[in-house]
Amino acid sequence: MRASAIAHVLNAEVITCQELADDLEIITACGSDMMSDVIAFVKDRVALLTGLTNPQVIRTAELMDIRLIIFVRGKKPSSEMIQMAKEQSIMLMSTQDSMFIACGKLYQAGIMGDIAYQAR
Amino acid sequence: MLIEYIIPRMDFSAAGKASTDMKRRLTQLGLPVALIKRIAIAMYEAEMNVAIHGDGGKAEVEILEDCISTRFTDKGPGIADIELAMQEGFSTASEEIRNMGFGAGMGLPNMKRNADELIIQSEPGRGTTVIMRFKLQTGEL
What would the pLDDT profile of A2-48 be if each residue is shown by its tens digit?
A: 999 999 999 999 999 999 999 999 999 999 998 888 888 787 789 99
Is B90 at the interface with chain A, CB within 8 A?
no
**Which architecture, in CATH terms, is A3-108?**
3-Layer(aba) Sandwich (3.40)
Predicted confidence (pLDDT) per residue in B110-134, tens digit: 999 999 999 999 999 999 999 999 9
6-25 in A: which are within 8 Å (CB) of B?
A: none
The pLDDT tens digits of the residues spanning B39-88 come to 999 999 999 999 999 999 999 999 999 999 999 999 999 999 999 999 99
* ipTM at complex level: 0.80
B91 pLDDT above the threshold of 50: yes
Domain B2-135 has CATH 3.30.565.10: yes
What is the domain partition of chain B in residue ranges? Answer: 2-135
Residue B3 has pLDDT above 70, yes or no: yes
Mapping DSSP onto H, E and C, the string for chain B reads CEEEEEECCCCCCCCCHHHHHHHHHHHHHCCCHHHHHHHHHHHHHHHHHHHHCCCCEEEEEEECCCEEEEEEEECCCCCCCHHHHCCCCCCCCCHHHHHCCCCCCCHHHHHHHHCCEEEEEECCCCCEEEEEEEECCCCCC
Chain B residues with CB under 8 Å of A39 CB are 41, 44-45, 106, 110
Q: Give the integer Cα–Cα distance in Å for B90 and B71.
A: 23
Residue in chain B closest to A120 (alpha carbons) equals B113
Nearest-Cα residue of chain B relative to residue A34: B101
What was the pLDDT predicted at A116? 45
Domain boundaries, chain A: 3-108
Q: Which helix (H) or strand (E) holds A11?
A: none
Count of CB atoms situated within 10 Å of the CB of A40: 22
Query: Nearest by CB to B101, which of A54, A62, A65?
Result: A54
